Amino acid sequence: MEAYTAMRHFADSWGLLAMSLFFLGVLFFTLRPGGKVSADRAAQIPLKED
């Protein structure tokens, strides 16, 4: 049972930090200055004909 408690404590502290950093990274990647052009190109992919 002690392993479960240790893993839970780790997830409560470092897991939250890891998820927060991941969220901030995705947010930065999405809102970066050159992101609009690549996002517009990606949005047009389903509409292209082969």
Return the domain boundaries, the chain.
Answer: 2-47
CB atoms within 10 A of CB 4: 8
φ, ψ for residue 7 (rounded to 5)?
-65, -35
- Span between the terminal Cα atoms of the chain, in Å: 57
pLDDT at 45: 92
> Alpha-carbon distance 18 to 11, whole Å?
9
Query: Reduced to 3 states, what is the DSSP secondary structure of residue 31?
Result: helix
Kindly report the length of the chain: 50
> What pTM does this model have?
0.58
Mean pLDDT per 10-residue interval, the chain, length 50 residues = 84 87 93 86 85
pLDDT at 42: 87
